[in-house]
Every structure is written in C-alpha cells, then in structure tokens.
C-alpha cells in the first residue's frame, strides 16, 4: 500500500511529524530557483479542528521562526491564526554556507521560500520587518506602517553584528566580510578566496562565545585551508585568531583537523585579545595569549564579528521593549519550558536571539521552535507547558571538500537549575558531554547532506 498521510491515522502522523521522521514524505523542498511554490501546493493538510482559537504572530522566517509557524498550525489546528513576519522573499541557509566558499555548493541550493508554509498549513506570510512592540497593547508595528495584534508573540529574529575591531558594517559588506549571515557576504568572501594569489595568507577571527554555531568557525578554517592547499599552493596560510581560550566544539575532531589534516597550512592561536583590523591595508594587530603584541598582513581577512540578538543594541526594538535582559543586554532571557520572556508575559523568544543554555545552532533552533509551539498551544488552551521538555542537537562539519565530522547531544530539562542540560545516553543523568564522530570520513559527508535536507524539509515544508 502506498504510504501517504491520507491513509495514516492522524495522531500517528502528527507524532511522526513532530519527530521529523516524516520529512522524507513531505512535499519537495522549496528551492526558490525552481517550481517549489506550485509543487508545494500539491499537498494540502486538512488541519485538525482542535477548538483552539487565537492569534499568534511569529517574527523572523529563519530556522526557528519557520518551524514555529508550521508547527503552531499543524498542532494548534485550523482555528489558530498564525502570521509569519519576514522581510525577505526567501531564506538563505547559513548551514552548509561554508561549502559555497570552496565551490562545493551553489548558494541557490541554500534558498528556501515560504510557499509551502502558506500552501500546506495556511500560515499567513507578511513580508515586512517588525519595528516596535507594544507589549501592553499586545500588538506589533511593521516597517510598512501596519500593525498586527497578537494573543501570543513569538520572536525569532536571529542576530545582528557589531562594529568591531575598528570595522564598520560597510567594511563587512565591501572589504572584510564576516559572512556569518549567508548571502551577499558569502559570495564576496568566496570571490576574495578565489582571487587569492599563490601561497597567500587568509586570516579568520573568532569572537568570544556565545556566538552562533560553535563549531562553524573551525569548520570554515578547515575548508579554506583545504581549498588553498588544493588550488593556491602548499605555501598558503590560514591563520585563526580565537578570542576564546580554546576550540569551542568538536574538540577532538578539530584538534586532529588543525594539527594533522591541515598541518603546515593552518595555524591556530587561542586566547588572543585586542584585535584591530585595517580593512584597506589588510593588516591585523592583536595581543597573543602570552601578552605580546603581534602584527601581520593578509590577502583576505574574515572577521567573524561579535554578535547579539537582533534589535538588542541601544535604541533597537528588542531593547526598547525590555526584552534584551540576558547577559550584558545582548540576548533575551527565557523560561526554557515555554521560551516565554522572563521580562514580558505573552512574548516568546526562540533561536539564536534567546539565552536558553543550549547552543546557538539551526538544529537547536528547530527544536526550540517545537517546544515553544507546543507550550503556546497549551497556554492558549488554559494549560501549562510540558514540564519535561527534551531537545536534541546534531551538527555535521565538513573538514575537507569530501569528508566531515559530526557532533550530537540530547538536552533535557533539569528542574534543580531550571535549565536544559546535556543528558547521558538515554537520559536521566544531566551534564554529560556531547558525542563526537569517531572518525572524519566521506560517509559522514554523505550523511551530512541527508541530515541537512531532512532538517530543512522539517522547517520549511
């Protein structure tokens, strides 16, 4: 018998959908350079009539926001109105964007539109930016001058980048791209890399944690080293200046990658401070971990600038609404049972913008979105959030053009600290470590592509 959702019991379907296991059965993913909007409309869910009525506005159509909008409708049913507010016509995935730098992927393969969310689940998509929140009146103001009322507001705006190391936003856009939000800067960095001379120098800087995607900078350093030694000569150099005391994730894999696989090309300097960059002369000065001042010149500089929750800078909309109450006013503190702000009732913050104890990662953002969607539905129905949420994190890191490593962890709620902690095998014991791949392999690279398309299907279709 053909396996479709029409011949499945609804409850079973919803359980599978929640686990992400049916991603392979979902309609084809929404590439923007193809026919996704029409193909997505081939499959329309008959949403449950749960009796729940309410208005939820989700702001930000990235990994967290797209997933939340979908699951609010899927689990909340046809009476729950869900509006997704996102300025861009399509989302460009950061995940896999390091592979654009070495030509391993075309950036178009990282583009996902919102057609399936509206066609399949009836999510109303509004292309505008949120500019302010009236938390007392429970409405938001948008860049087109319109307002949207809400019963519950879910914010998933990601991050914004600081002017750092003497650089401005204009420097990032035209001379020294951070490329830590995929898009035009990814292409600029790719082109700069391709134009490097033989045996040139590439400098990458890593900001103090927390930053988005803990293994991401080390992954990028490896891919750039692999590209340079393949195409620009074994005398090429990748110099990594890390403001942290050591590698932030995947320590065993990256130690091997830095010291063995890319030895001679890649040099790693942890514990640096006082980084200053001249975007025009392409010079970098810093203080090394022994306290000695250092200077070097480079062909390409890739500063991963420090970042914070979008809207959290002084005068920003998140700060103005009193929601940027996490460390140093940089993130939004939330109750991890519901992702409701600890400062403003009725407002939930998910994804990289929140301070929740789990890593700032796309896979985690997808998980936070589902916990939040479930909690919002329970709260609107007069109940309480699930008291024992569990989330998982999985991250594959390419190490060369054809090999990869991975890292995974299961997080569960720890009532003693009211936080999410890593669970040991099967749960029960909190504060174990994440598990790393035993080897860096081509098989991992193949599985990485399956993981990525499954995750993106679960979030956008």
Ligand X SMILES: Cc1cc2nc3c(=O)[nH]c(=O)nc-3n(C[C@H](O)[C@H](O)[C@H](O)COP(=O)(O)OP(=O)(O)OC[C@H]3O[C@@H](n4cnc5c(N)ncnc54)[C@H](O)[C@@H]3O)c2cc1C
Q: Name the residues that contact ligand X, by CB under 6 A.
A: 59-65, 85-88, 91, 94-95, 97-98, 129-130, 156-158, 180, 212-213, 216, 310, 351-353, 360-363, 365, 395
Over the range 339-363, which residues count as b (16 or more CB within 10 Å of their CB) and which as e? bbbebbeebbbbbbbbbbbbbbbbb
Q: Coil, strand, or helix at residue 56?
A: strand
For residues 419 and 342, give the distance between their C-alpha atoms in angstroms, rounded to a whole number. 13
Give the side-chain half-sphere CA count within 13 A for 310: 18
The C-alpha atoms of residue 328 and residue 244 are separated, in whole angstroms, by: 18
Sheet containing 283-287, strands listed edge to edge, beginning at the edge strand earlier in sequence: 273-278, 283-287, 293-297
Q: Which residue is nearest to ligand X (CB)?
A: 62
Minimum CB separation of residue 398 from ligand X in Å reads 9
Smallest separation, CB 267 to ligand X (Å): 21
Least Cβ distance, residue 322 to ligand X (angstroms): 16
Question: In the complex, what is the shortest distance from the CB of residue 89 to ligand X, in angstroms, rounded to a whole number?
Answer: 11
**240 or 395: whose CB is closer to ligand X?**
395
Q: Which is nearer to ligand X, 5 or 250 (CB)?
A: 250
Half-sphere exposure of 217 (CA within 13 A, CB side): 31
Min. distance of Cβ 415 from ligand X in angstroms? 26
**Which tokens hold the place of 50?**
């749960």
Give me the helices (H) in 236-391, please.
251-256, 317-320, 362-380
Taking the complex as a whole, the smallest distance from the CB of residue 414 to ligand X amounts, in Å, to 22
SS3 content of the chain, % helix, strand, coil (to 5): 30, 25, 45
Nearest approach, Cβ of residue 347 and ligand X (Å): 14
- Which is nearer to ligand X, 80 or 110 (by Cβ)? 110
Instruction: Map residue 12 onto helix, strand or coil.
Output: helix
- To the nearest whole angstrom, how small is the minimum distance from the Cβ of residue 426 to ligand X? 23
Q: Which is nearer to ligand X, 5 or 61 (CB)?
A: 61
C-alpha pair distances (Å), 344 with each of 159, 320, 322, 402:
20, 12, 7, 47
Closer to ligand X by Cβ: residue 62 or 115? 62
Cis omega before residue 210 (within 30°)? Answer: yes
Closer Cβ to ligand X, 201 or 302, answer by number: 302
**Which residue lies nearer to ligand X by CB, 380 or 409?**
409
Q: Tell me whether residue 48 or residue 266 sits nearer to ligand X (CB atom).
A: 266
């Amino acid at each position: 018998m053909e396996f479709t959702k029409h011949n499945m019991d609804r409850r079973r379907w919803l359980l599978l959908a929640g686990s992400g296991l049916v991603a392979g059965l979902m309609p084809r993913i929404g590439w923007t350079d193809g026919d996704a909007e029409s193909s997505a409309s081939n499959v329309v869910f008959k949403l449950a009539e749960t009796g729940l009525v309410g208005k939820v506005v989700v702001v930000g159509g990235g990994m967290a926001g797209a997933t939340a909008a979908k699951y609010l409708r899927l689990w909340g049913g046809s009476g729950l109105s869900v509006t997704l507010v996102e300025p861009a016509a399509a989302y460009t995935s950061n995940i896999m964007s390091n592979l654009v730098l070495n030509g391993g992927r075309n950036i178009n393969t990282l583009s996902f539109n919102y057609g399936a969310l509206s066609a399949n689940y009836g999510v109303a998509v509004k292309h505008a930016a949120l500019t302010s929140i009236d938390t007392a009146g429970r409405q938001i103001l948008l860049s087109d001058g319109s307002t949207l009322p809400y019963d519950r507001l879910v914010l998933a705006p990601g991050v914004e980048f600081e002017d750092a190391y003497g650089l401005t936003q204009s420097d990032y856009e035209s001379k020294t791209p951070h490329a830590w939000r995929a898009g035009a800067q990814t292409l600029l960095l790719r082109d700069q890399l391709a134009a490097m001379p033989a045996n040139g120098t590439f400098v990458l800087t890593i900001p103090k944690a927390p930053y988005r995607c803990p293994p991401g900078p080390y992954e990028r350093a490896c891919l750039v080293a692999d590209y340079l030694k393949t195409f620009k000569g074994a005398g090429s150099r990748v110099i990594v200046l890390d403001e942290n005391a050591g590698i932030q994730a995947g320590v065993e894999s990256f130690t091997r990658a830095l010291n063995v696989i890319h030895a001679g090309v890649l040099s790693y300097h942890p514990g640096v401070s006082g980084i200053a960059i001249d975007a025009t002369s392409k010079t970098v000065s810093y203080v090394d971990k022994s306290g000695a001042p250092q200077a070097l010149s480079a062909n390409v500089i890739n500063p991963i600038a420090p970042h914070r929750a979008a809207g959290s800078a002084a005068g920003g909309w998140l700060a103005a609404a009193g929601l940027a109450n996490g460390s140093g006013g940089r993130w939004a503190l939330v109750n991890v049972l519901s992702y409701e702000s600890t400062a403003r009732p009725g407002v939930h913050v998910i994804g990289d913008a929140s301070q929740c104890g789990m890593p700032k990662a796309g896979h985690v953002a997808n998980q936070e979105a589902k916990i939040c969607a479930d909690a919002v539905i329970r709260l609107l129905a007069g109940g309480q959030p699930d008291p024992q949420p569990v989330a998982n994190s999985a991250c594959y890191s390419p190490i060369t053009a054809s090999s990869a490593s991975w890292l995974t962890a299961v997080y569960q709620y720890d009532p003693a600290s009211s936080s999410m902690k890593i669970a040991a095998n099967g749960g029960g014991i909190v504060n174990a470590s994440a598990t790393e791949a035993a080897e860096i392999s081509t098989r991992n690279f193949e599985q990485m592509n399956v993981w990525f398309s499954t995750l993106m299907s679960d979030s956008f279709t």
